[in-house]
Structure 1
Amino acid sequence: MALHKLQVDDFYDDSYKLIAIHCRLEDYRLAYLLNKHLGIKLERKEKDIDFKYLESSYSIFEWDNETEYVLWNLISNVCKKEEDSLSSSGTLFDSPEKILKTFNLISEFKKVDFFLKISDEIQIVNEKFILNKLQAIPQIITSYTVNPLQIKSKDHLIF
């Protein structure tokens, strides 16, 4: 009897475009600017993306364009969290010091502030058009496409 083996990687399809955005704005302000300039309708999801048992969380905005079968996601790549430091000074009036820890959703791109993930089934989204629109927004420092196949932690982009 012949043995048939199915590889899970055979069914995983990278049918999305990924655009890195460098921008110092708050997430809701960037979502507003993208809605305004790209003509989309991003809305904040109720739950953020949580990793490592609530060690870090990342905001996510989503719009499902059902007429064109395109799913838009704006994901924060940076999570800053204030924690107590683990230093013991042994003084009488010990006041715990706070340190600011920074976590990244995609660790290979530590300087990227946001990712715009565009999942399109029919391949109708024009990346160059979107990049030109993004470059026209004065608050965005720069934006560029990222090849999802070159990201080691691309599993973080599955939600």
Structure 2
Amino acid sequence: MAMHKLVVDDFYDDSFKLIAVHCRLEDYRLAYLLNKHLDLNLKRQKDDLDFEYFKSSYSIFQWENVSQYVTWHLVTNVCKKEEDSLYSSGTLFENSQRVLKTFNLIPEYKNVDYFIKISNEIDSVNDKLILNKLHQIPQIITSYSIDPVKLKSKDYLIF
């Protein structure tokens, strides 16, 4: 009987650009400003990114530009959830206190509020031009490019 060996290379291609955005706006407001200034059509996805059995969830906006073979994603990096605190006061009647916990999609960049992921099949996106347009939006504090190859948790950006 002949044996066939299937060699599987890495299916996931790291051909995307990643831009970090520092901005205190709500996610829908930032998506509106990006649509307006960058001529995009970002729309909120029906399902959020959920990790660790709904421990944290991150909103995601997407637009697929079919004519230029480019897919744009805007994803939040910060998830704040209110949970019950686990402490024992040693008294007969316990006080239940709520604690606000913060989770990050990419823990290496805890101060970043949003990420813009640009996946393109052909290298047609000029990230310098995009950064210049982002710097012209007054509500954005700062934005800069990140090398996705150097990220330890780049698997979280596969969606």
TM-score, structure 1 as length reference: 0.94
Partner SS state of residue 142, structure 2: strand
CA distance in 2 between partners of 1:30 and 1:157 (Å): 19
Please state how far the C-alpha of 1:95 moved relative to its aligned partner.
Answer: 2.3
Q: CA deviation at 1:93?
A: 4.0
- Structure 1 distance, partners of 2:158, 2:9, is 15
> What is the 5 A alignment of 1:2-151?
6-9=7-10, 11-151=11-151
Distance 1:97 1:8, change over 3 A: farther
User: Structure 1: how far apart are the matches of 2:129 and 2:122?
Assistant: 17
Q: CA deviation at 1:91?
A: 3.0
Instruction: String of CA shifts for 1:35-63, please: whole Å, max 9, x gaps.
Output: 00000000000000001111000000000
Range 93-102 or range 115-124, more displaced: 93-102
Deviation of residue 89 (structure 1)? 1.1
**One-letter amino acid matched to 1:29:** R
Which blocks of at least 5 consecutive residues in structure 2 are unaligned? none
Find the aligned partners of 1:55 and 1:8 in 2 and give their Cα distance: 32
For each residue in 1:89-142, what CA deviation from the matched residue of structure 2 results, as whole angstroms up to 9, or x when unmatched? Answer: 133442211111100001111100000000111111110110000000011010
Q: Give the superposed CA RMSD.
A: 1.5
3-state SS of 1:108 partner: helix
Alignment coverage as a number of residue pairs = 158
Runs ≥4 residues deviating over 4 A: 1-5
Identity %: 65
- TM-score, reference length from structure 2: 0.94
CA distance in 2, matches of 1:98, 1:113: 24
Mapped to 1, the partners of 2:12 and 2:157 lie a distance apart of: 13
Distance, in Å, in 1 between the alignment partners of 2:98 and 2:54 is: 19
Deviation at 1:12, TM superposition (A): 2.7
The 3-state SS of whatever aligns with 1:152 is coil
Question: Matches of 1:135 and 1:122 in 2, distance apart?
Answer: 25
